[in-house]
Homo-oligomer: A and B are copies of this chain.
């Protein structure tokens, strides 16, 4: 399932899509959306873009493994903090507007994602950074760390699409035009987000751009 192509072109496309998605969500939040909730901006910037770059970084940066690991850990930490702030903003907005909390699929999956992601980050910190597990433990759990990380990332991306759809459906129930500018903007932001996530996953399933220092990242079960 891993085509023999280099990750580099996928990473370039990913960065471009990230910029486009970020600009679109900023235009939506500060030009269109009357509630001005910062939840979509924080979640998209944190749990999708910075988290995506954290995933890509370990594969594509031309540094030694130890440096890449610190960058990966730090970017993931920033993403986690932005995600927690963004989720708190949603609760704050709901409470101020008298909207019920935690009844929707988006909120349920969102809580699942942030919990799994927190566990994943803590495990990465303790096992791979400080104090660090034994070489055997690291070797045995690294493929699971990468696979679970990719699964949680795909869930986060799918959940961002759920969030865009949910908010837009509410807006359209309140009179926002179904084929209008705001609807098209939100839908294209969601699609750009999903395509970005696809390219992040493609970049980690393809070959490292540098042939050094990735020895322990691509542990294949076929070995």
Cβ-neighbour of A105 out of B108, B146, B190, B205 (below 8 A): B190
Q: How large is the interface on A (under 10, 10 to 19, 20 to 34, 35 or more residues)?
A: 35 or more
Do A143 and B1 have beta carbons less than 8 Å apart?
Answer: yes
How many Å lie between the Cα of A106 and that of B147 in the bound state? 27
Closest B residue to A141 by beta carbon equals: B3
Do A222 and B221 have beta carbons less than 8 Å apart?
Answer: no
Report B-chain residues with C-beta under 8 Å of the C-beta of A130: none
Do B105 and A4 have beta carbons less than 8 Å apart?
Answer: no
How many Å lie between the Cα of A180 and that of B220 in the bound state? 46
Closest B residue to A190 by beta carbon equals: B105
Report B-chain residues with C-beta under 8 Å of the C-beta of A100: 178-179
In the assembled complex, the CB of A206 is this many whole angstroms from the nearest CB of chain B, namely 7
A36 within 8 A of B: no
Do B1 and A187 have beta carbons less than 8 Å apart?
Answer: no
A126 within 8 A of B: no
How many Å lie between the Cα of A49 and that of B204 in the bound state? 27
A218 within 8 A of B: yes
Report B-chain residues with C-beta under 8 Å of the C-beta of A179: 100, 103
In the assembled complex, the CB of A9 is this many whole angstroms from the nearest CB of chain B, namely 14
How many Å lie between the Cα of A12 and that of B30 in the bound state? 48
A-to-B contact residues, CB < 8 Å: 1-5, 100, 103-106, 108-109, 143-144, 146-147, 150-151, 154-155, 157-158, 161-162, 164-166, 168-170, 173, 178-179, 183, 186-187, 190-191, 194, 198, 201-202, 204-207, 218-223
